[in-house]
A and B are shown apart, each in its own frame.
Chain A
Amino acid sequence: MSEKVDLETHIIKMKPDASVDLSTKDLHVWYGQNEAIKGVTLEFEENKITSLIGPSGCGKSTYLRSLNRMNDEIQIARVTGEILYHGKDINTPETDVYEMRKNIGMVFQRPNPFSKSIYDNISFALKRHGVKDKNALDEAVETSLKQAALWEQVKDDLHKNALALSGGQQQRLCIARAIALKPDVLLLDEPASALDPISTSQVEDTLLQLKEKYSIIIVTHNMQQASRISDYTAFFYLGNVIEYDETRKVFTRPKIQSTEDYVSGNFG
């Protein structure tokens, strides 16, 4: 629920009593000399789905990837500003990024399961993070596959290679793999763009169930998807957030002309 609207930027602030998992303050991302994100300040409410929309090249994926510091892996990328996770800035050299990424999980545009069995895809990272007990692993695999709505289809052949699954199943396996680590934030970068409509709606159903437990931030090119599943929507344009509000407001009564043009399909 919005408390007030900053008239200059049309970005809502969360109510003081709303629980905010993750927020950024004046976040800039540079690729060499090129400024891809020009100072974005956003707050993401707990147990809500937030969509990041905008035309190609507007910086929404770049922004999403900086939230769990995946941009660290790009040699020329430089990220300045604060990324606050439960009030603590994680955009510092002292931050243990590997520990942090356990809490801020990510699912990518193309399904990228490992060339291992379904079981190992999920249990593998857990083992690396110190879960050794076989029963605990079995349970984590079952729970996360159930949460990702994949359990019924794969429970009989958990030791089949994950690459033998269909695209939609692979993507849900990637979601299961991410939530097995029990993160509280889940970042999704166009998770359904490589999937057919049926798989897409399955992934969307999965996300709607998952928001009971996780805060979800999703980049999407699909306006219907954003309006179907998200509680908040941020409209990115040329490296800035132009408008951030509750999804129904962004889609029915946008305050900015370019937002209206974009969500109604007049450009982008």
Chain B
Amino acid sequence: MNAKKIDKIAVGFLYAMAGVIVLILFSLLAFILWRGIPQISWEFLTTPSKSFQTGGGIVIQLFNSFYLLILTMLISTPLSLGAAIYLSEYAKKNLLTDFIRTIIEVLSSLPSVVVGLFGFLVFVLQWGLGFSILSGAMALTLFNLPLLTRTIEDSLRAIPLTQREAGLALGLSRWETVNLVILPAALPGILTGMILAAGRIFGEAAALIYTAGQSAPALDFTNWNPLSISSPLNVMRPA
């Protein structure tokens, strides 16, 4: 067999493999859409679920998912950003910072059930926050921090050293250089990292069972007093 023939066979083989994967994904997606789309209506999305009857909607669950997502991002973005800026711009290269990086790597591979149980023990019981949106958001923050820090640090590092030199040589302080040169240049990468993180948070379930609770109480969408138990904004209610 000549090289050309082998090449053709190899290409055909790779096409077949890729085709199998695409086929599986497409059939799953098609099945879900085919069965699901007819069920989705404005009513389904905007009415609360019913306890002992069929029917009802998912408005509370949907709202809680978004609310958790926003709260988690509000807590974790400043923390990750600060840690990432420190690690990439200020930390000296020594054993300690290598150790910190390793710890972040280890944290990022924690299974979400473990994070959930940790949140249950610390936030729910120890701190007495109970099953609440806040406990859930903090558990998700814990789950999210390592990867978000890592992606932000990577996007800061991807900015060439020459940009930092340019800022410093113009008499800018290191903080000004980071703030006005490096961060704006790294912004697209940071945003990508945040969007990926948001996707992970939105789809997370296991960590929430132990922290945010298993069932959502009825909400009154006309009550915007964050201290009231039936208010959607109350962070101390279960979700």
- On chain A, the residues within 8 Å of B93 by CB distance are 75
For residue B165, which residues in chain A have a CB less than 8 angstroms away from its CB? 70, 73, 106, 108, 112
Q: Which residues of A contact B233 (CB under 8 A)?
A: none
Q: Mark A99-118, 1 if CB is under 8 A from B, else 0.
A: 11110011010101111100
Picked from A100, A110, A124, the residue with its CB within 8 Å of the CB of B162 is A110
Residues of A within 8 A of B180 (CB): 124, 128
Complex Cα–Cα for A129 and B169 (A) = 13
A229 interface hit (Cβ, 8 Å): no
User: Whose C-beta in chain B lies nearest to the C-beta of A124?
Assistant: B180
Contact of B171 among A73, A112, A113, A181 (CB under 8 A): A181
- For window 68-127 of chain B, which residues contact chain A by CB distance below 8 Å? 92-93
Residue contact B162 to A128, C-beta cutoff 8 Å: no
Of residues 63 through 122 on chain A, the ones whose CB sits less than 8 Å from some CB of chain B are 68, 70, 73, 75, 98-102, 105-106, 108, 110, 112-116
Which of chain A's residues has its CB closest to B92's CB? Answer: A75
A108/B162 in contact, CB under 8 A: yes
> Closest CB-CB distance, A187 to chain B, in whole Å?
8
User: Of the candidates A100, A112, A178, which one forms a contact with B160 in the assembled complex, judged by CB atoms under 8 Å apart?
Assistant: A112
Does A177 sit at the interface, judged by CB under 8 A?
yes
- Known contacts: A75-B93, A110-B162, A114-B163. The answer to whether A70 contacts B185 by CB under 8 A is no
Q: Which residues of B contact A105 (CB under 8 A)?
A: 169-170
Considering the chains assembled together, what is the distance between the CA atoms of A73 and B165 in angstroms? 9
> What are the interface flags for A125-148 relative to B under an 8 Å C-beta threshold, 1 for contact and 0 otherwise?
100110000000000000000000
A-side interface size class: 20 to 34
Q: Is the interface of B mostly helix, strand, loop or mixed?
A: helix
Interface membership of B168, Cβ < 8 A: yes
| B216 on interface, CB distance cutoff 8 Å | no
Do A102 and B171 have beta carbons less than 8 Å apart?
A: yes
Q: In the complex the two chains form, is A114's CB within 8 Å of B169's CB?
A: no
CA distance A191 to B176 in the complex (A): 25
Residue in B93, B166, B171 whose Cβ sees the most chain A Cβ within 10 Å:
B171
- Chain A CB within 10 A, most for which of B162, B168, B180: B168
In the bound complex, what is the Cα–Cα distance between A164 and B168 (angstroms)? 23
Q: Assess whether B162 is in contact with A70, with CB atoms less than 8 Å apart.
A: no
CB-CB < 8 A to A241: which residues of B?
none
Minimum CB–CB distance for A66 against chain B, Å: 13
A114-B166 contact given A75-B93, A124-B180, A128-B180, CB 8 Å threshold = yes
Nearest residue, chain A, Cβ from B166: A112
- Check if B173 is an interface residue, CB within 8 A of chain A: yes
- Give the shortest distance, in Å, between A125 (CB) and chain B (any CB): 4
Which residues in window 219-268 of A have CB below 8 A to B? none
Instruction: Flag whether A174 is at the interface (Cβ < 8 A).
Output: yes
- Taking the closest CB of chain B, its distance from the CB of A33, in whole angstroms, is 17
Pairs across A and B, CB under 8 Å, 29 listed:
A73-B164, A75-B92, A75-B93, A100-B171, A101-B169, A102-B171, A106-B169, A108-B169, A112-B160, A112-B165, A112-B166, A113-B166, A114-B163, A114-B166, A114-B167, A115-B184, A115-B185, A116-B184, A125-B171, A125-B172, A128-B170, A128-B171, A128-B172, A128-B180, A129-B171, A174-B166, A178-B169, A178-B170, A181-B171
Given A68-B169, A108-B162; 15 other pairs, CB 8 A cutoff = A70-B168, A73-B165, A73-B168, A100-B171, A101-B171, A105-B169, A105-B170, A108-B169, A114-B181, A114-B185, A124-B180, A125-B170, A128-B171, A177-B166, A178-B170
Chain A residues with CB under 8 Å of chain B are 68, 70, 73, 75, 98-102, 105-106, 108, 110, 112-116, 124-125, 128-129, 174, 177-178, 181
